[in-house]
Structure 1
Amino acid sequence: MRRLALLVLVLGSLASAKGVVAQECTGCHTSKRTEPQTRFANGLGRWTDSQCFGCHAEINDVAVKRQKREPDPRYFAIPVREDKLAHLAKTPLAYMNAPELLEHPGQKVPRISSRGLAAFLKRPSTLSQKEGSRAPRMMAYPSLQSGDVKDVAALLSVRLPAREAPAAKLTASERKDADTLWKARCASCHAGDKPLSGRDGVSLGLYTPEWTYEYCREQPPYARADRQMPEVPLSLDEARLLHRLFDEMRVEKERELDARVTRLAMKDAAMPGAVPPTMLAYLWGPFFRDATCVHCHATSPRAASAFTADAEGLKTYLKKKSGEEYWRRLETRALEAEHGLVAAKPGMPMAGMELPVELRRLIARWVVDGCKDTEGKTWCRR
């Protein structure tokens, strides 16, 4: 019996260890996203690090009520400054646009492509227009495994295609036809830095060509009252050709972004002059919260294993990696915002907005000067 119990325990632990990527999706894309583990006496939820949507939704709600002068006992437990709460009343915290349902009820064909989902999870692209930034608001999983894709699909009730045509490079004539089709039928709404629809060709690669064909015909269940996309004449073969174009668009834009990341030069970006002592104290303390580092690097095991968001964690990171790597990840996020696509080595803050350029330039100067702490000791690895 003891051996049997031990076997059950081992198998149970293996089962719980499976699907780490899928587990991180639970707090944003399932019905459990609004369910706190427990409640404080004043009604504020006790949220885990994976329950981003629910925690942010509750803070946003308190901010709105505070702005309306409505009494709310949760206000006293919210770890947010008064001026920040006033800002949140008009500009809510992130994750509120995370869809709970990824499938359209009644659809006949699978909507999401296995290959497209894998590409999106590895390097998310912008799926909707955001005011002020195009930085994708989605966690990236650069080390994604094939099993992770299946776990995510199962968790979110996504019906992946039983078979998919392998990726095939377009010939010169096919590329010309695909480009012509794109410009004639799609570009007016899906092209440009901020496409009218919120989805460019890279993002459209998430879906299957069969679903695109059905959706463009504006047939039930797609002909909803809130639908904004007009009916577009498109054959199934044309849809398949377009999706091969979307695959190539992603490859081309990934290469373009990664090339820009490679060309980043810290000394060129560094602001002139020395970093003020008050700013040194800021970089070793309040910065971790203001830059949202603590949201992942003080709670999530995956993020905290790479970098712990406190002074000691920063020292360890600077010695193990380098100050230039620290700056480069922050600067990469700004490039991701320009491209609407995550880099091969994701920028920081992941799933958040890029830091202001002035702050990034100051951090570059701080690194060039040796990553000094408030006592003047340098921590950058040479």
Structure 2
Amino acid sequence: MKLLVLLLLAWSTPVLAAASGPEATECVGCHTPKRTEPQARFGNGLGRWNDSQCYGCHAELNEVARLNHQGQRDARYFAVPVREEKLVRMATSPLSYMNAPEAVEPGGGAVPRVSGERLAAFLRRPASLSSKDGGRAPRMMAYPALTPKALRSVAALLAVREPLREEVPAKLTEPEKKAAEALWTARCGSCHGGTKPMAGRGPLALGLHTAQWLHAYAKGQASVPGRTRLMPVVDLSLDDAKLLYRWFGAARTEAEGALDASVAQLKLEAAAVPQAVPPAFIPYLWGSFFRDATCVHCHATSPRAAGAFKADAEGLKAYLGRKSGEEFWRRLETRSLEAEHGLVAAKPGMPMAGTELPAQVRGLIARWVLEGCKDPEGKTWCRR
């Protein structure tokens, strides 16, 4: 019996280690078979999901919205914590995470798909994996404070087989850069190029894959887990794939710098388009805004997010005192820049993994900050 217990512990320890930490726990809710298993079900059939089960919870809410749009209401409809107008929008614009693959690595000894040395950069600053879903804002959680230990846990959970190297790859020479650009234009750019690539994935997203995978997939010798192949076979040698892999890495570095420069140039005064905040906007900002802007999806449920900012009036007061009104506005404005660049900023914008707020709303918030972050009673909570 003692030997059996030891064997069971030896078998289960790597699994438990792989799922440790908030980053890995959140990955379980999107990228493993458990993503569609609720903790329990209420009497009306609606699933009871925890805050890390993003995929399953959103999938069920999207299903209820779609059925309601088709005139097929079921018992779950009366219990979903979503307003009627939001359900109408969800019928044609589903909640995020629906493109998350259940598995990110093929099994059975196939060519490794995810690059270990690029995984950390992608987790800290995700790139848009698809530009065909109506926007370029990355639809994945970002982990800017990712530690080496957390990275190892996530890599183990996702079955990433490549070493998690952190060394800086050799910089492309000018001839290599020109050769890579010519190769991209000739073999890839017609489908994967531009701000809205027909194939969905541009250089920033493709850079997450190993050179071996890029070569095998282009040749029709590899497949995406759980996906039907639509891409035609492309004549791409392994050396070509290695060159493109390095070029993708350089493209990410360049894109990160461009985005961070844009964030640094944000000016509160320039964004405050209205001359005054309409009286009705102030009580809205301290109340319904938290739900309409999807803040509550994370900042009222997830311990990781709620610890930084609690999505209610008291939480806003605490944030304004600890940070500033300008920082509150800046995080919202940053999201619009992330949508332009298809990449998450060094300090992520909000709403993370969601669509940026309308420019008009961001302009009103900028003016509200300049006026002192007043609450409905007229008390100011910030200087900027």
Q: Distance in 2 between matches of 1:373 and 1:50?
A: 32
Match of 1:281 in 2: 283
Secondary structure of the corresponding residue to residue 332 of structure 1: helix
Q: Distance in 1 between matches of 2:148 and 2:227?
A: 37
Asked if 1:68 corresponds to 2:70, the answer is yes
Q: RMSD over aligned Cα, in angstroms?
A: 2.3
Q: Distance in 2 between matches of 1:43 and 1:90?
A: 23
Amino acid in structure 2 at the alignment position of 1:270: A
Secondary structure of the corresponding residue to residue 186 of structure 1: helix
Q: 1:109 to 1:332 in 2, by over 3 A?
A: same
Q: 1:187 to 1:311 in 2, by over 3 A?
A: same
Displacement of 1:199 in angstroms is: 1.1
Q: Distance in 2 between matches of 1:246 and 1:17?
A: 30
Match of 2:297 in 1: 295
Match of 1:379 in 2: 381
Q: 1:211 to 1:91 in 2, by over 3 A?
A: same
Q: 1:271 to 1:166 in 2, by over 3 A?
A: closer
Q: 1:263 to 1:106 in 2, by over 3 A?
A: same
CA deviations on 1:58-108 (whole Å, 9 max, x unpaired) are: 112222222333341111111222232222222222211111021235563
Match of 1:186 in 2: 188
Secondary structure of the corresponding residue to residue 195 of structure 1: coil
Provide the identity percentage. 63
Amino acid in structure 2 at the alignment position of 1:192: G
Alignment partner for residue 48 of structure 1, among 44, 47, 50?
A: 50
Query: Does the Cα contact within 8 Å between 1:321 and 1:381 map onto a contact in 2?
Result: no
**Any runs of at least 4 consecutive aligned residues in structure 1 with deviations exceeding 4 A, and if so which?**
14-17, 161-166
Q: Distance in 2 between matches of 1:16 and 1:153?
A: 8
Alignment partner for residue 272 of structure 1, among 232, 249, 274?
A: 274
Query: Does the Cα contact within 8 Å between 1:134 and 1:337 map onto a contact in 2?
Result: yes
Secondary structure of the corresponding residue to residue 127 of structure 1: coil
Amino acid in structure 1 at the alignment position of 2:286: W
Asked if 1:319 corresponds to 2:316, the answer is no
Asked if 1:128 corresponds to 2:144, the answer is no
Q: 1:275 to 1:225 in 2, by over 3 A?
A: closer
Equivalent positions of 1:54-203 (< 5 A) are: 54-106=56-108, 108-161=110-163, 167-203=169-205
Q: 1:326 to 1:170 in 2, by over 3 A?
A: same
Q: Distance in 2 between matches of 1:185 and 1:15?
A: 41
Equivalenced residue count is 370
Match of 2:29 in 1: 27
Secondary structure of the corresponding residue to residue 64 of structure 1: helix
Alignment partner for residue 213 of structure 1, among 215, 233, 237?
A: 215
Displacement of 1:296 in angstroms is: 0.9
Ranges in structure 1 where 5+ consecutive residues have no aligned partner: 1-7
Displacement of 1:273 in angstroms is: 2.2
Displacement of 1:17 in angstroms is: 9.2
CA deviations on 1:266-319 (whole Å, 9 max, x unpaired) are: 101102322122110000010001101111111111111111111011011111
Query: Does the Cα contact within 8 Å between 1:105 and 1:221 map onto a contact in 2?
Result: no
- Tell me whether 210-219 or 103-112 shows the greater mean CA deviation: 103-112
Q: 1:97 to 1:220 in 2, by over 3 A?
A: closer
Displacement of 1:147 in angstroms is: 2.5
Secondary structure of the corresponding residue to residue 92 of structure 2: coil
- Tell me whether 47-56 or 142-151 shows the greater mean CA deviation: 142-151
